[in-house]
Amino acid sequence: MSQQPPHPRRQRGFSTHCIHGGETPDIVTGASSPNLVMSSTFTVDKPLPFSATGMDSDSPYIYSRWGNPTVHQLEDKLCRLEGGEACQCFASGMGAVAAVFLSLLDAGDHLVVSEVSYPGVAEFARNTLPRFGINVTSVDTSDSAAVAAAMRDETRLVWIETPANPILRLTDIQEISGIVHQHNAIVAVDSTFATPVATRPLERGADLVMHSLTKYLGGHGDAMGGAVVGPTEIINRLTKEAAIHHGGVLSPFNAWLILRGIATLPLRMRGHEEGALEMATWLESHPAVRRVLYPGLKSHPQFDLASRQMDNFSGMISFTVNQEGRIRTRMMKHLTTIHYAVSLGHHRSLIYWLDTDELTVSSYGLTGDALERYRSIAGNGVFRFSCGLEDVGDLKRDLSEAID
């Protein structure tokens, strides 16, 4: 865990934090770029506790599962970008999600989770948590009344993802945080699609913000990681219970790559947004396309909320088409610039088909009204397009080969 130290230049701007946050020239060599400390263990010169329970925030480095200087630099930077007190990184986004669920929920507690989300989160919540005696309700978190109705005395945590995978549904963080806090529960936001360039959930009243660093923050598709930012007291629990005892810590090498990725985050997000807006507008007028979902389009059902809550509309577009089977085959065969692959937020454009039957049955377990709500938006499925930073003309030419 890294806590945000009092810093004389804390008032620096966001882009400056992306570059300098958590970093200083090396005190021994003067190296301007961050050192990569791969050491798993550290020499000590005084007796120190061997148990994580005896560790405090100013303990020296002992063992890299407890804390590592390169990972701490990244955690410090993330604190500054999200405006949080403390941060703990994990080996992946799912590592961060599991840390929150398993460290903060006890048997008998109740979790409210968004009915649409990254499928791994939905599957973990629906399939794994009940085995530990945790009760789970999934709701449409874009509907505040539905969230209010789902709250119980035992509700400890409400999990939001905004914009949410894969239909880019938004949740009003401020409104939901208000409701949840009335019930003495906490709100955690998966802000992977938005990034701190677009939305800083803690400023809007959320208690925790989680990122898959594998996506926009790392930004180059070469390092997996996850992070949770929030109050010291909660992050401390994640460090001791999840990082140290479950053990899914971030590799210092990945932290170093992600630190480098974040240096250009504001520039990249500008590029992602610009490209995505042009691609979404082009797709909307394409005869083979039925519907385009992009928070920056006026046709998005929550465009007003997106304009209020997002300082950047990010680079994720989902769209439905008329002949999905034929188009999917053509994509896998003919795309040359865009990679037909899962994941998102990389400098390379990526596209993937997300099938409604598969998601709603295996991942979300949607039935009745919830299933109809999903189908009315996604039809048989959506192509989820993560607009990269290539020339937009090349992206249009590439997609035209598959969808014309």
Ligand X SMILES: Cc1ncc(COP(=O)(O)O)c(C=O)c1O
CA distance 234 to 87: 10
Q: Closest CB to ligand X among 93 and 252?
A: 93
Number of helices (H), then strands (E), belonging to the chain: the values are: 15, 13
Q: Closest CB to ligand X among 118 and 294?
A: 118
Q: Closest CB to ligand X among 55 and 71?
A: 71
Q: Is 120 in the site for ligand X (CB under 6 A)?
A: yes
CA distance 213 to 294: 22
- Per the CB < 8 A criterion, the answer to whether 288 and 252 are in contact is no
Task: Out of 141, 162, 212, 312, name the contact with ligand X by CB under 6 A.
Answer: 212
- Per the CB < 8 A criterion, the answer to whether 138 and 115 are in contact is yes
CA distance 226 to 75: 10
Stretch that binds ligand X, among 15-23, 179-187, 188-196, 375-383 (CB under 6 A): 188-196
- Per the CB < 8 A criterion, the answer to whether 189 and 208 are in contact is yes
Stretch that binds ligand X, among 87-95, 256-264, 282-290, 307-315 (CB under 6 A): 87-95
Q: Closest CB to ligand X among 190 and 273?
A: 190
Q: Is 224 in the site for ligand X (CB under 6 A)?
A: yes
Q: What binding mask, one character per residue, do residues 242-281 give for ligand X by CB under 6 A, x or -?
A: ----------------------------------------
- Reduced to 3 states (helix: H, G, I; strand: E, B; else coil), residue 231 is coil
Q: Is 93 in the site for ligand X (CB under 6 A)?
A: yes
Min dist. Cβ of residue 250 to ligand X (A): 11
CA distance 301 to 273: 18
Min dist. Cβ of residue 189 to ligand X (A): 10
CA distance 264 to 220: 11
HSE at residue 251, side-chain half, CA atoms within 13 A, is 8
Query: How far, in Å, are 111, 116, 184, 200, 291 from residue 100 at the CA level?
Result: 11, 18, 17, 18, 35
Min dist. Cβ of residue 283 to ligand X (A): 21
Stretch that binds ligand X, among 186-194, 199-207, 254-262, 379-387 (CB under 6 A): 186-194
Q: Is 118 in the site for ligand X (CB under 6 A)?
A: yes
- Per the CB < 8 A criterion, the answer to whether 305 and 298 are in contact is no
For β-strands 110-114 and 226-230, DSSP reports them as unpaired
Min dist. Cβ of residue 386 to ligand X (A): 10
Count of residues in contact with ligand X, rule CB under 6 A:
15
Name the closest residue to ligand X (Cβ). Answer: 93
Task: Out of 70, 114, 192, 309, name the contact with ligand X by CB under 6 A.
Answer: 192
Min dist. Cβ of residue 215 to ligand X (A): 6
Query: How far, in Å, are 64, 264, 358 from residue 385 at the CA level?
Result: 37, 21, 18
Q: Closest CB to ligand X among 120 and 365?
A: 120
Q: Is 381 in the site for ligand X (CB under 6 A)?
A: no
- Per the CB < 8 A criterion, the answer to whether 23 and 73 are in contact is yes
Residues 155-184 that bind ligand X (CB under 6 A): 161, 165
Residues 321-360 that bind ligand X (CB under 6 A): 343
Within 8 A by CB and 6+ apart from 50, the residues are none
Q: Closest CB to ligand X among 165 and 318?
A: 165
Q: Closest CB to ligand X among 55 and 104?
A: 104
Which residues bind to ligand X, rule: CB under 6 A?
A: 92-94, 118, 120, 161, 165, 190, 192-193, 212, 214, 224, 226, 343
